[in-house]
């Protein structure tokens, strides 16, 4: 965590994070436009942020897109904010977000974290019900081959749909699948009203991709990319808050044997 605090200590790097918070998925050219700094200086600051895990990058053709990575900050919050205080802190953060933050123009989310584990164990944690039910309260029924259908047991609600399929499957390296359908049963489970259910049901199906890379002895870099959202997506707003908690709980389970406690 020393690298995170060091990276956050610099006002220019905080300004870069603010820029990505306002509009994710920017190129180096985009970020330079908002700062009175040379391209090389901005590139160096981004390298520090990426090294600290506060920025994740994805290549699209010849361009390198930069994304605010919430995972390290989420881990800090879980370490020093008690589960009893977390609800109040989250409520204030949600209020600030609603009042101040503009809607992101590029609703694609990228999260990166480093986990003390092996690619094999991480793959198990992403695919086997014995693991997924512990940190996600979700289980998958599938053989994990490309094109195979997936039945989700999401918090006790079974979701089946012909378009819920495995898109990529390279054991211990890469896994991608279509996001689940939104059903009335799921809406009832989470208390969504009819208006929200209609909005979510009408959206195009998104997808999630997990990339696993060895980053040292018994250390694995996990990158989670969730994309395919239409402009103004309600689901995009929802998963923006869900993935950091999920990734943090997955990391804690693999490193300590226990997931993070559920929110009160």
Which CATH number does the domain housing residue 59 bear?
Answer: 1.10.10.10
In a domain, 171, yes or no: yes
51 with 123, same domain: the answer is no
Residue 243 has a pLDDT of 87
Closest CA to 235 of 155, 171, 185, 180: 180
114 with 25, same domain: the answer is no
111 with 61, same domain: the answer is no
Phi then psi for residue 135, to 5 deg, are -105, -10
Asked if residue 92 lies in contact with residue 135, where contact means CB atoms within 8 angstroms, the answer is: no
**How far, in whole angstroms, is CA 255 from its chain's centroid?**
19
d(CA 91, CA 107) in angstroms, rounded, equals 22
Residues 6+ apart with CB under 8 A from 72: 1, 4, 52, 53, 54, 113
pLDDT above 90 for 230 = no
List the domain range (segments joined by +) for residue 9.
2-68
In a domain, 37, yes or no: yes
Average confidence score pLDDT of the chain:
85
In a domain, 207, yes or no: yes
60 with 144, same domain: the answer is no
pLDDT-based confidence at residue 99 (cuts at 50, 70, 90): very low
Domain count, the chain: 2
pTM of the model: 0.71
Residue 151 has a pLDDT of 97
Q: For the ranges 68-77, 82-91, 152-161, 165-174, which has the lowest average pLDDT?
A: 82-91
> In terms of pLDDT, which residue wins out, 36 or 98?
36
pLDDT above 90 for 220 = yes
The residue behind tokens 């009832």 is: 188
- Specify the CATH number for the domain of residue 132: 3.30.530.20
């Amino acid at each position: 965590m020393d690298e995170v605090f060091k990276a956050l200590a610099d006002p220019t790097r905080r300004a870069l994070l603010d820029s990505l918070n306002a509009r994710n998925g920017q190129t180096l050219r985009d970020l330079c436009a908002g700062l009175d700094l040379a391209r090389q200086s901005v590139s160096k600051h981004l390298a520090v942020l990426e090294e600290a895990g506060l920025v994740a990058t994805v290549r699209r053709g010849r361009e390198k897109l930069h994304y605010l990575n919430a995972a390290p900050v989420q881990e800090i919050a879980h370490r020093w904010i008690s589960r009893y205080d977390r609800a109040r802190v989250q409520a204030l953060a949600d209020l600030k977000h609603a009042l101040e933050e503009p809607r992101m123009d590029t609703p694609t989310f990228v999260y990166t974290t480093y986990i003390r584990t092996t690619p094999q164990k991480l793959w198990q944690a992403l695919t086997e019900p014995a693991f997924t039910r512990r940190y996600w309260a979700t289980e998958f029924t599938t053989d994990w081959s490309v094109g195979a259908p997936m039945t989700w047991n999401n918090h006790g609600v079974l979701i089946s749909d012909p378009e819920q399929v495995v898109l990529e499957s390279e054991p211990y390296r890469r896994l991608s699948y279509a996001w689940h359908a939104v059903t009335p049963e799921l809406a009832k489970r989470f208390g969504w009203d009819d208006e929200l259910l209609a909005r979510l049901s009408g959206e195009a199906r998104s997808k999630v991709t997990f990339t696993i890379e060895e980053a040292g002895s018994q250390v694995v870099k996990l990158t989670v990319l969730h994309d395919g959202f239409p402009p103004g997506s309600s689901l995009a707003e929802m998963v923006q808050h869900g993935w950091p908690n999920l990734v943090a709980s997955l990391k804690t389970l693999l490193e300590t044997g226990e997931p993070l406690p559920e929110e009160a």
